[in-house]
């Protein structure tokens, strides 16, 4: 199993999404097991292949903290045909990268995630046309208002792509609202890198925006261009691939850290 999800040994990358993507590039291997099971172990649940638990490249046993998530990971293994395709196993790739590269360096991953607050997608607004300006405001302003009111994180907006330095107080307040467990942090890091917005990821974690709203907000400009000029097939295919990884990260977040009641 290790060869399927091999990563650089010794110093796993702090970016869970890059770790998962590297795993997906491994050539396919013939299915070598018949039965997939779930065993209750210390700290959660292990996925077993013919009775043997799956392990990371450094021989760490993959322990999944929530039964529902373990069921979903097991389903990915059970669904494989004659050859195993890691691309079709986003939850397994995330689980592998969390155990291999995040559990022992949670603070480093949080630090990397928090850097996105400095140049978040939601800060940089179009100056025209009016329709796009209005659409960005409709999707992005509620998240910024929530951050200001609920977290005390008051950010500065900019027109165009000119960098604007954000207040240290806002950055600290947003970082303090991030979860501290490895699985949630890894899931939020993936959501952030896929959307370009740590604030959208944070709003998802706190239940003030659902997955569909976050995905739509992350693609306001892209969807506007599609409405004006039509869809690009290659771009649509890339977006579909990203959406699969996004949905897997959302599933992980929901399983291990269910969001609080939705805000206004």
Cβ partners under 8 Å of residue 72, min gap 6: 91, 251, 255
pLDDT of 5 higher than 50: no
Please tell me the predicted confidence (pLDDT) of residue 96.
93
User: CA 125, 130, 134 angle in degrees (round to 5)?
Assistant: 60
Give the pLDDT band of residue 180 (cuts 50, 70, 90): very high
Mean predicted confidence (pLDDT) in 93-105: 93
What is the rounded CA–CA span in Å between residue 90 and residue 115? 25
Mean predicted confidence (pLDDT) in 216-243: 92
Question: Tens digits of per-residue pLDDT, 151-172?
Answer: 999 999 999 888 899 999 999 9
Please tell me the predicted confidence (pLDDT) of residue 43.
93
Q: What is the CATH number of domain 107-256?
A: 1.10.3580.10
Could you check whether the bond before residue 129 is cis, i.e. omega within 30 degrees of 0? yes
Considering only residues 182 and 262, tell me which one the structure prediction assigns the higher pLDDT. 182
Q: How far is CA 21 from the centre of its chain?
A: 12
Segment (H or E) for 242: helix 233-256
What is the residue-averaged pLDDT of the chain? 89
Question: Tens digits of per-residue pLDDT, 9-63?
Answer: 333 345 665 655 555 555 678 999 999 999 999 999 999 999 999 998 889 999 9
pLDDT of 260 higher than 60: no
pTM for this entry: 0.86
Residues of the chain with CATH 1.10.3580.10: 107-256
What is the rounded CA–CA span in Å between residue 183 and residue 179? 9
Cβ burial 193-210 (10 Å sphere, 16+ → b, else e): bbbbbbbbbbbbbbebbe
CATH architecture assigned to 2-104 = 2-Layer Sandwich (3.30)
Q: What percent of the chain has pLDDT over 70?
A: 87
Please tell me the predicted confidence (pLDDT) of residue 28.
76
């Amino acid at each position: 199993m290790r060869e399927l999800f091999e990563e650089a040994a010794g110093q796993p990358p702090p970016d869970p999404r890059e770790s998962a993507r590297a795993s997906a590039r491994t050539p396919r291997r013939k299915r070598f097991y018949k039965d997939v099971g779930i065993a209750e172990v210390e700290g959660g649940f292990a996925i077993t292949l013919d009775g043997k638990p799956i392990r990371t490249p450094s021989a760490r046993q993959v322990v999944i903290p929530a039964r529902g998530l373990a069921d979903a990971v097991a389903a990915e293994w059970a669904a494989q045909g004659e050859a195993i395709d890691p691309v079709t196993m986003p939850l397994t790739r995330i689980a592998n990268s969390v155990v291999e590269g995040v559990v022992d360096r949670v603070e480093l991953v949080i630090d990397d995630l928090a850097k996105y607050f400095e140049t978040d997608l939601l800060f940089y607004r179009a100056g025209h046309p009016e329709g796009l300006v209005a659409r960005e405001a409709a999707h992005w302003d509620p998240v910024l208002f929530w951050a200001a009111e609920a977290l005390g994180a008051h950010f500065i907006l900019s027109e165009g792509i000119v960098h604007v330095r954000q207040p240290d107080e806002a950055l600290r307040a947003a970082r303090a609202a991030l979860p501290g467990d490895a699985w949630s942090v890894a899931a939020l890091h993936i959501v952030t890198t896929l959307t370009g917005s740590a604030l959208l990821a944070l709003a998802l974690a706190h239940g003030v925006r659902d997955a569909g709203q976050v995905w739509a907000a992350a693609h306001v400009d892209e969807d506007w261009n599609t409405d004006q000029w039509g869809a690009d097939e290659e771009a649509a295919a890339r977006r579909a691939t990203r959406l699969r990884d996004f949905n897997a990260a959302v599933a992980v977040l929901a399983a291990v850290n269910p969001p609080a009641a939705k805000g206004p």
